């Protein structure tokens, strides 16, 4: 069934408007090979491949594992992918929206007002029997102009703990510090509450309804009456929580450095436990 969840678009809606939108394929596997091979093996017709590590992040450093990209570099990457100021953009991945949300957030942050995430991603597109194109995409360069400073709310390490509700989007065992497969220090920012990205999705891997998401976040204290920020390991999957809250009508800031940036300063406090 089609729906209008604001920043989301269903496969059926995309199929019906494919000639009128720019599609970005942000397939990504954390720690795995780039998704270009997957893209060339089959993609939404006309979709351009966007490399998360290269196009949607700056090199790792004090800002964490995936700092926000330089504005000029991001603008150039989006132009290579065919993004135009006056044309709708749809982004997808095959990670239930976790990488696509990063692209959605960056485009919105830099002034593109008409960006949506394909709900269910590549899997949902295939399951719906929609057409598939193979090989490298031939993309006409776009004219996207990145706004600076950015327009989506952002918090840094110095003010991330000043918000009413700080949401940690990682899996519960990473939040608790029981395991840490990626970063050198385990735990979470003191005062944070855990809303894993899996809580945003139903059994099919689609985003829950706005009403359900409002309930999910209300349990964590995040409502439209509170100041809210989200973080994760490197600032990528936190955008999934920001997107889910946008669906629910809650405006949340992103802490781009996230846990991997927080722990670059050993003087910053660390909490463990659930």
CB 185 within 8 Å of CB 270: yes
Catalytic sites, residue numbers: 232
Count of CB atoms situated within 10 Å of the CB of 239:
32
Count of CB atoms situated within 10 Å of the CB of 46:
16
**Strands 165-168 vs 115-118: parallel, antiparallel or unpaired:** unpaired
Q: How far apart are the first and last CA of the chain?
A: 37
Question: Who's near 142: CB < 8 A, 6+ residues apart?
Answer: 22, 78, 79, 80, 81, 82, 83, 84, 87
CB 10 within 8 Å of CB 130: no
Count of CB atoms situated within 10 Å of the CB of 94:
23
Beta strands in the chain (DSSP E): 8-9, 21-25, 48-49, 88-92, 115-118, 165-168, 193-194, 228-231, 252-254
- Nearest residue to 114 (alpha-carbon basis) of 102, 104, 99: 104
- Nearest residue to 144 (alpha-carbon basis) of 92, 72, 90: 72
Q: What are phi and psi of 22, to 5 degrees?
A: -100, 125
C-alpha radius of gyration, the chain, whole number:
18
């Amino acid at each position: 069934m089609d729906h209008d969840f604001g920043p989301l678009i269903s496969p059926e809606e995309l199929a019906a408007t494919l000639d009128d939108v720019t599609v970005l394929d942000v397939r990504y596997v954390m720690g795995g090979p780039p998704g270009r091979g997957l893209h060339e093996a089959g993609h939404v017709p006309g979709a351009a491949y966007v490399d998360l590590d290269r196009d949607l992040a700056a090199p790792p450093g004090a800002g964490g594992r995936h700092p926000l990209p330089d504005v000029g570099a991001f603008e150039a990457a989006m132009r290579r992918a065919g993004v135009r100021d006056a044309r709708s953009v749809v982004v997808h991945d095959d990670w239930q929206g976790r990488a696509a949300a990063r692209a959605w957030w960056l485009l919105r942050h830099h002034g593109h007002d008409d960006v949506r995430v394909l709900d269910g991603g590549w899997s949902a597109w295939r399951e719906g029997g929609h057409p598939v194109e193979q090989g490298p995409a031939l993309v006409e360069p776009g004219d996207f102009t990145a706004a600076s400073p950015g327009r989506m709310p952002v918090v840094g390490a110095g003010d991330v703990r000043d918000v009413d509700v700080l949401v940690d989007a990682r899996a519960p065992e990473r939040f608790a510090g029981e395991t840490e497969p990626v970063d050198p220090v385990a735990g979470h920012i003191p005062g944070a509450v855990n809303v894993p990205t899996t809580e945003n999705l139903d059994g099919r891997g689609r985003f829950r309804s706005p009403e359900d998401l409002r309930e999910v976040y209300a349990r964590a204290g995040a409502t439209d009456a509170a100041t809210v920020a989200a973080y994760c390991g490197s600032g990528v999957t936190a955008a999934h929580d920001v997107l889910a809250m946008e669906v629910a009508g809650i405006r949340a800031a992103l802490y781009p450095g996230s846990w991997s940036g927080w722990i670059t300063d050993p003087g910053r406090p660390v909490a463990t436990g659930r």
